[in-house]
Structure 1
Amino acid sequence: MSSKILNVGLIGFGLSGRYFHAPFLSTNPGFKIKTVVERTKNDAQAFDPEIGNARSVDELLSDESIDLVFICTPNETHFPYAMDALENGKHVVIEKPFAATEEEARQLFAKAEEKGLVLTAYQNRRWDSDFLTLKKLLAEGKLGDIVEYESRYDRFREVVPTESWKEKKVPVGGNLYNLGPHLIDQALVLFGEPETVTADVRAVRPNSEIDDYFDIRLGYKDKLVIVKSSLMVYENKLRYVLHGTKGSFIKGGLDPQEETLRKDILPDTQPWGVEPEDRWGTLYSEGASAIIESEAGDYASFYQNVYDAIVNNAELAVKPEEILRTTRVIDLAIQSSDEKKVLNY
């Protein structure tokens, strides 16, 4: 085990920086959060007084002691900030969406390869309690061959908030870029690249400036994979529905880690990531049904993998080719919805 400590810089300290990255980075001995970019606030110092403050991205990137940068800013800034960080010799983790297009993503990976740097996407939902449970069921063959998979991430926001940039008509905005990367990545991790992509991306709420609904259908030879999200679903418990040749699995609820982190509980608290029983899924098979206890989720695995990739040359868990296929599906989903066509992957 290496004793090297990586100095980390966070660009942005909103929900992502404060409640996702900072808690895990601060409890992993391999990282030290050295500096956070906040143009006017000092929220990072409220989290930890030892964290330094930078008032601009250039100020952070000019610090040669910073090894790794997390980009936690509005979507349209991800590409330019990541490119600047790579140019300055920093390893980089980019919040979702990784980039606006597949082409932008390819440019970033080309720069990372040129500079010999680690670059990856923050796909923490691979370590959600429900997704780990699902992967275990599939590995054990409990459902047989999957013929249909549906994954949903819905919310109810009837009143459109006016203060959030996420609700504004801005470049690289909307629900597809916000929640789509997680749902698409999970599906591709399970089933690989599809043959076709068909999508309906639209606004369903009155006065919405963004696409707040998407329905993406990934076509495979032997199965249909559906990922959906709407901000107009009042009863939004449903999370997964899988149908296979041996049975079906239906599960509701969300992984508890985000709600725990928002309570200022650090992830070195035990037990961690344990779902309440009322969120456990049900496996239905011939003549029987059974409640399946959920696996414990743990986003810490993502951060440890990034550390190992940088320090020990380990293989990234979230690989460049996996990130590229997610960006490609998003590109095709937008095109499919606009042209009302089934597109080849």
Structure 2
Amino acid sequence: MPSKILNVGLIAFGLSGRYFHSPFLSTNPGFKIKTVVERSKNEAQEFDPSIGNARSVEELLSDEEIDVVFICSPNASHFSYAMDALENGKHVVIEKPFAATEAEAKQLVELAKQKGLVLTAYQNRRWDSDFLTIKKLIAEDKLGDIVEYECRYDRFRPVVPTESWKEKKVDVGGNLYNLGPHLIDQALVLFGEPKTVTAEVRSVRPNSEIDDYFDVRLGYDNKLIILKSSLMVYENHLRYQIHGSKGSFIKGGLDPQEETLRKNVLPNVKPWGVEPEDRWGKLSSEEYTGIIESEAGDYAPFYQNVYDAIVNGAELAVKPEEILRTTRVIDLAFQSSNEKKVMTY
């Protein structure tokens, strides 16, 4: 048994709270989901009848028994809810986007530091099957020096009448804030800070109210990093094209964890996160050309790391300085697109 059980408060119980966080928190013995903020619904109790309900964020944050708060609400509320949670002495995990700007992110990081609280971003895609596979290939020097890296995260979401806030012109809305943090974080984990940021952020769908397409290019002295996403790609297959001095790796398909979680399968069911063979990538090199079996994806280590950071003082896997550089790239990408300029990082 863990030395301490952390009481968790979830702010909102939509896709993120219900299908990403709750399954992993409920199967980790170090956490207990105590309360979920739902203003009118009771969906958390359908997941687990023992979960309490709060009708406001203020009610949740006033509970002195809550140790850590996961912020899963619409994007524009992340900063204010995180500030309030930190002011109330809670450790905080924020869904992407972490904040609207680098300046906001710095305020959060500084407040957490002042109060001695753990603050991190939910960068679960570091534990995707495909990304773990790519990290392993690079670590084993199978590709040599990387010259070009392209990652896409596409969806097919034609604009139809919808009440989803994700399709509305709202503050901190649009695809760069939604999918951009995943792609940017992965690239920065692999290659560090760039020298330049160049981007085109636009709408490509008829009647779209949001930016639904982005092409962000990170410039380095010896490589080009291309990060793209469109909500008008019917076949979301091509994910990674990586070319290096020793070979190339091409891979399609998405990590299977989200689709599994949406089927109400909990992550204590084994095997977990195993990609179907038709999603495995192909390595082409003089040393070896053929299909590479994907590593199994697993988001559980993220939650265990949060626990260890709070209870045992362990180093965070998703560090504040890493969060700040992702928010900086997003700021520069918007500025580059608006001003049609190459921005210096």
Amino acid at match of 2:150: E
Q: Secondary structure at the match of 1:328?
A: helix
Amino acid at match of 1:255: D
Q: Is the 8 A contact 1:161 1:167 kept in 2?
A: no
Give yes or no for the alignment of 1:321 onto 2:321.
yes
Given that residues 160 and 208 in structure 1 are in contact (C-alpha distance below 8 angstroms), is that contact kept between their aligned partners in structure 2?
no
Rounded to whole Å, the distance in 2 between the matches of 1:128 and 1:161 is: 32
Displaced runs of 4 or more, over 6 A: none
Write the letter of the residue equivalent to 1:315.
E
Structure 1 CA distance for aligned equivalents of residues 119 and 288 of structure 2: 46
Residue 140 of structure 2 is aligned to residue 156 of structure 1: no
Q: Tell me how far 1:176 sits from its aligned partner.
A: 0.2
Gaps of 5+ in 1: none
Note if 1:32 corresponds to 2:32.
yes
Report deviation, 1:248.
0.4
Partner of 2:244: 244
- Partner amino acid for 2:261? L
Q: Which amino acid is the alignment partner of residue 69 of structure 2?
A: V
Say which SS state the counterpart of residue 199 (structure 1) adopts.
strand
Note the C-alpha offset of 1:235.
Answer: 1.9
For residues 208-235 of structure 1, what are the alpha-carbon distances to aligned partners after superposition, in whole Å with 9 as ceiling and x for unaligned?
A: 0000000000000000001000001112
Residue in 2 aligned with 1:44? 44
What is the alpha-carbon distance in structure 2 between the residues aligned to residue 146 and residue 49 of structure 1? 50
Residue number in structure 2 paired with 1:286: 286
TM-score by length of 2: 0.99
Structure 2's unaligned 5+ residue stretches are none
SS in 2 for 1:264: coil
Which amino acid is 1:57 matched to?
A: V
| 2:244 partner amino acid | G
Q: Is residue 205–residue 212 contact of structure 2 (8 Å, CA) maintained in 1?
A: yes
Q: 1:225-264 to 2 correspondence within 5 Å?
A: 225-264=225-264
C-alpha distance in structure 2 between counterparts of 1:26 and 1:286, whole Å: 46
Q: Report the CA distance shift for 1:161/1:28 in structure 2 as closer, same or farther (over 3 A).
A: farther
Percent of paired sites with the same residue: 84
The answer as to whether partners of 2:121 and 2:323 remain within 8 angstroms in 1 is: yes
Residues paired across the two proteins, number: 345
The AA in structure 2 aligned to 1:127 is: W
**In the alignment, what sits opposite 2:123?**
123
Q: Secondary structure at the match of 1:240?
A: strand
Kindly indicate whether the alpha-carbon contact (under 8 Å) linking 1:174 and 1:211 is maintained by their aligned counterparts in 2. yes
The separation in 2 between residues aligned to 1:197 and 1:160, in whole angstroms, is 33
TM-score w.r.t. the length of structure 1 is 0.99
Secondary structure of 2:64 counterpart: coil
- The answer on whether the counterparts of 1:37 and 1:56 sit within 8 Å (CA) in structure 2 is yes
Contact 1:212 1:231 in 2 (8 A): yes
CA distance in 2, matches of 1:304, 1:281: 29
- Residue deviations 1:278-327, cap 9 Å, x none? 00000011385210000000000000000000000000000000000000
